[in-house]
Structure 1
Amino acid sequence: MNQLKDKFDEISKKYDSQRKMLIPCFDEFYGICVSVADVNNNTPKILDIGAGTGLLSSFLLDRYPEARITLIDISEKMLEVAKQRFIGNENIKYVVGDYTKYNLSEEFDMVVSALSIHHLEDSDKKELFKKCYSILKPNGVFINADQVIGETPYIDSLNKKRWKESIEKSGLPREEILAAYERMKLDKEATVNQQLEWLKEIGLMDVSCIYKYYSFAVMFGRKKS
């Protein structure tokens, strides 16, 4: 985790500007997260795990301006960027810490994550999903927008080839492209199907991969009322 923290500390200032270039499906990827974030509450409590600079939360705030959001991330520098983004918003809480170990006792209407959980070992992913389920309110939703590994080695190589072709043409400076390739070495992706099964096993309903574009997927589940 320390190596991961260091990598994201390094890119904290550039993180947001890089996203649109590193995620070919950026608008749909984040837009679909917001579109399926349906709760019967205009002031939902939201937990954003691996929140980084608060990018996903900023889109959710467009839909729920009065939302009360807790952002947790291992990188203090990433959260410093988030604090600047949400300056003046007293409904935002910031927690610096490892979300796999942090004791979360409150309940939330939504637990969301974007491009973070794929850094965990599979056993830690499963434990985290259990924790997310335990802190969801009845009818609460879990949304994980993340990178996934291909179902077979061939599909995975195809997905990664398409992604590399895209970012090579993105206009990102060469050193930033190489840094992105270096960060990939820390990835521990799981397949969509594996993760959907884990979400079903913990008791979530309506489990689905709402969206997928090569290696990018939006996975969804809802807690029974």
Structure 2
Amino acid sequence: MSEAPVPAPETWRPSDTELFAAYGDAFVPRRREQISTVCDLLTDLPDSHVLDLCCGEGRLAEEYLRRRPEGRVTVLDGSPEMLDLAAERLAPFGDRHTRVRADIADREWREGAAYGGIMTSLAVHHLDGPGKRDLYRDLHAMLAPGGVFVMADLVEPTGPTARALAAAHWEQAVRHASREQFGGDEAAVSFETAGWNYYRLPGPDPYDKPSSLPDHLDWLREAGFIEVDVAWMYAGHAVFTAKRTP
């Protein structure tokens, strides 16, 4: 999927980029399905120019541009290595994409732009609750009337049973993808060694700060969005959709 997790610059290292570039298709549960769902929701836009927030390798942008011959994408990420990977992936689309280096928590990139759609994946959970609320208000203001916001991200379970199930499903998805893509447990071993499964962590994490599904829905509505919904969910990962009033 916007697509690698993009923490603050001091927490995301080149080694993280290398690991995700190598195994991201396995680490993200049902990644192709998530990407397809995000792009399915970016239809009937008032403008075909879309922002890919924390673009990672540019997988979302690639799929959007492939589907929309008239589309344009601005890819934004705080990691120069990820921006380079995205630029390489999007090179076949010529000048239909531009790139901006900025962290999700920065404010400068949130001003002076209007998009028909905004998409992001595995990035917003690095903000705390107030940071998410501010972001949703700013994204709403950045959309043209009738514009659509689509987000794929981790969500925080509200109880231990759901948390354990999310953890187990995520591990199952990674094992299946690892065997399918690499012919063995190579990616699954790296996933476990790196401690990538947030739902297996013993306590609060200073960098990953997922919020509950109800909180996201409430904050999006509070920001002014309509048609706020969850279109897809599996292994603790959800795809949200919201729209600015036409």
Match of 2:73 among 69, 78, 81: 69
SS at match of 2:69: coil
| Aligned match of 2:181 | none
Q: Is 1:12 aligned to residue 21 of structure 2?
A: no
| Cα distance, 1:71 vs structure 2 | 0.9
CA contact (8 A) 2:45 2:116 kept: no
Match of 2:168 among 161, 174, 177: 161
Unaligned runs of 5+ in 2: 1-7, 179-184
| Cα distance, 1:168 vs structure 2 | 4.4
| Aligned match of 2:130 | 123
Match of 2:194 among 158, 179, 187: 179
Match of 2:60 among 43, 56, 59: 56
Bigger drift between 135-144 and 57-66 goes to 57-66
State the Cα RMSD in Å.
2.1
Structure 2 residue identity aligned to 1:148: V
Distance 2:41 2:9 in 1: 33
Distance 1:200 1:182 in 2: 29
Match of 2:229 among 208, 217, 221: 208
Distance 2:195 2:71 in 1: 32
Aligned residues with identical type, % of pairs: 23
| Aligned match of 2:120 | 113
| Aligned match of 2:34 | 29
TM superposition score normalised by structure 2: 0.83
How many residue pairs were aligned? 222
TM superposition score normalised by structure 1: 0.90
Unaligned runs of 5+ in 1: none
| Cα distance, 1:66 vs structure 2 | 2.6
Structure 1 residue identity aligned to 2:51: L
| Aligned match of 1:220 | 241
Distance 2:45 2:74 in 1: 19
| Cα distance, 1:199 vs structure 2 | 0.5
